[in-house]
Amino acid sequence: MDTLLLARLQFATTTSIHFLFVVVTLGLVTLLVGMQTAWVLTGNPKWERLTRYWGQLYVINYVLGIATGIVMEFQFGLNWSGLSRYVGNVFGAPLAIETLVAFFLESTFLGMWIFGWHRLRKGVHLALLWGVAITAYASAFWIMVANSWLQNPVGYEVRDGIAHLTDFGALLTNPSLGMAFGHVVSAALLVGGMVMAAVSAWHLIRRTTDFALFRTSLRIGVVTSALAITMVQGFGFAQFGPVGGVQPTKFGGQSPEAQALIAEWTARFGPGDYTPPVLASVGLGFMILTGFTLGCVWLLLPLLFRDWIIRLRFPLWLVLLALPLPFVAVILGWISREVGRQPWVAYGLLPTEQAVSPVGAPVMLTSLIGFSLLLGTLAVTNWVLLARHAARGAADPPLGRPPAPPGEPAHPEPALV
């Protein structure tokens, strides 16, 4: 097989898996902030239990998501040395900021939040969670800054065959950044809302003893999903103008602007196919279709009145069965954005074939199999742990469990009968 194809398959596989962790993390932490803030302001123990329950699921996803991110980062040096060498001075700047400022701070705040239960004052403990959420959004922002530069290289000049950053502000005002960042954040909120609604629906279908608790989280999840899908659609359609302006070939190469750009590239880089694969358009079409399907969540809002959504029961099954849809949509969106950039790693600047590392196909195939198995194992482990802890209910989640009185075991064993 071709080395370039194997490298692209590996990057597509690993980034897709990692992206699923990211959207769950970003969506859930936003809802956690709201629930813990409600607990601090009202003192209602219901909000504490909800924070502990959903926080437990958030922590599981976050920890395993870190592992997938670390594994994925190795690919830049292993498989894409041409990218690191040619545009690393520019592309690496926002990635470094994301790692040093956002990621490390986020992990520090989260660790203090996890171990700060019953050790810190409520206000301080809440501030830590706000810090986790803010740095999570900052992390997503800087990742999108880096990705947007690959979509539309700006603020650089090429010296001695290497791109150098000349205008940092241009990275932040990149036309391909603003609406795309809003689209990703909205998609994460949609995922978080649907996860919360689906898990709550499952417990309500089983007629859990924590009816009031999961009734509340069901309402939060449904309302969040309805608002988020509207934002997703708004930011998504708002991207067509800016993206079409900086990437004329993304939606096909038939426009006069696209034809002129292709002629320029042919003269500069030689003859070739400079239109993106049909997979980009297919991904875009099915993403839009999935988005409109998820828009039906608005029909569930009237059923929240007098708990008709629970009394009728079939809406709970619809929510549960719809859980995979937002995950499918975010992957389709990623395919549309990334495959639509081909055949470029940095649009109009660095062809993909010049960015791949000079290694043989057997080595790249081994790398593909190894990385895919590792990240696949992490993903399966994550979903098994999430399902197991979600099924236990919110009676006494491990996260934030009060310390046992002196002389008593922290986790007393059930009495033998």
Could you please report the per-residue DSSP string of 34-76? HHHHHHHHH--HHHHHHHHHHHHHHHHHHHHHHHHHHHHHHHH
Residue 400 inside a domain? The answer is no
For the segment 251-280, the average pLDDT, to the nearest whole number, is 85
Interatomic CA distance for residues 322 and 293, integer angstroms: 9
162-165/344-346 β-pairing: unpaired
Residue 127 inside a domain? The answer is yes
Residue 282 inside a domain? The answer is yes
Q: Is residue 158 classed as helix, strand or coil in its secondary structure?
A: strand
Q: Which of 100-114, 118-132, 281-295 has the lowest mean pLDDT?
A: 100-114
φ/ψ (deg, to 5) at 2:
-75, 135
Q: Are 58 and 32 in contact (CB under 8 A)?
A: yes
Residue 414 inside a domain? The answer is no
> Which of 64, 61, 79, 62 is closest to 12 using CA atoms?
79
Q: Is the pLDDT of residue 358 over 70?
A: yes
Interatomic CA distance for residues 141 and 133, integer angstroms: 12
Q: Calculate what percentage of the chain has a pLDDT beyond 90.
A: 52
pLDDT band at 407 (very low <50, low <70, confident <90, very high): low
Position 416 scores a pLDDT of: 36
Position 410 scores a pLDDT of: 54
Q: Is the pLDDT of residue 100 over 90?
A: no
Position 414 scores a pLDDT of: 42
Domains: count for the chain: 1
Q: Which of 79-93, 242-256, 370-384 holds the top average pLDDT?
A: 370-384
Interatomic CA distance for residues 328 and 398, integer angstroms: 31
**Span 338-347, pLDDT tens digits:** 998 889 999 9
Q: State the pTM of this model.
A: 0.92
Residue 396 inside a domain? The answer is no
Q: Calculate what percentage of the chain has a pLDDT beyond 70.
A: 96
Q: Which of 220-234, 244-258, 355-369 holds the top average pLDDT?
A: 220-234
Interatomic CA distance for residues 351 and 243, integer angstroms: 19
Residue 378 inside a domain? The answer is yes
Q: Are 21 and 90 in contact (CB under 8 A)?
A: no
The secondary structure of 314-340, three-state, reads HHHHHHHHCCHHHHHHHHHHHHHHHHC
For the segment 168-183, the average pLDDT, to the nearest whole number, is 92
Residue 102 inside a domain? The answer is yes
Position 386 scores a pLDDT of: 92
156-159/344-346 β-pairing: unpaired
Interatomic CA distance for residues 22 and 139, integer angstroms: 10
**Span 114-147, pLDDT tens digits:** 999 989 999 999 999 999 999 999 999 999 999 9
> Which of 93, 180, 168, 104 is closest to 136 using CA atoms?
104
Q: Is the pLDDT of residue 32 over 70?
A: yes
Instruction: Classify residue 117 by burial, with Cβ atoms within 10 Å: 0-12, 13-18, 19+.
Output: middle
Residue 280 inside a domain? The answer is yes
Position 413 scores a pLDDT of: 44
Residues 6+ apart with CB under 8 A from 378: 17, 64, 67, 68, 71
Average pLDDT, the chain: 89
Q: Which domain holds residue 254?
A: 3-391
